[in-house]
Amino acid sequence: MSLPEPVPEAKPRLRRPARLKYDSLRQTELLLLPERVVSLNATAAAILRLCDGQRTVSEIVGELESAYGQTDLKGDVLEFLMLAADRGWVEP
């Protein structure tokens, strides 16, 4: 079942009890979920770290564009958030 596309005003957050952790031994970001651990790339971790339930999708996009000196990241961020929602990592 596919979830609806996140809207720019949505304030996504990690689905409880998921949490992010940096594994210094493996030098990678991890998403800790009940009964599983997901190894994230730097881009996925950067997006999920901003999903705090306070920032809107538009604000997340703006912060990422500013941090990485890029533009037009909205489509990529929305695509990732849809995937993350489908996998149960985030909720609106």
- What predicted TM-score, i.e. pTM, was given to this entire model? 0.87
Please check whether residue 74 is in contact with residue 61, taking contact to mean a CB–CB distance below 8 angstroms.
yes
CA 53 – CA 16 distance, rounded (Å): 12
For residue 11, how many other CB atoms are within 10 A of its CB?
16
The band of 3, judged by pLDDT with boundaries at 50, 70 and 90, is very low
Average pLDDT, integer, range 52-80: 94
With a pLDDT cut of 70, the percent of the chain lying above it is 91
- Read off the pLDDT of residues 26-38 as tens digits, 9 standing for 90 and up: 899 999 999 899 9
> Structural domains in the chain?
13-86 (1.10.10.1150)
- What is the predicted pLDDT for the residue at 9? 82
Q: Is the pLDDT of residue 17 over 90?
A: yes
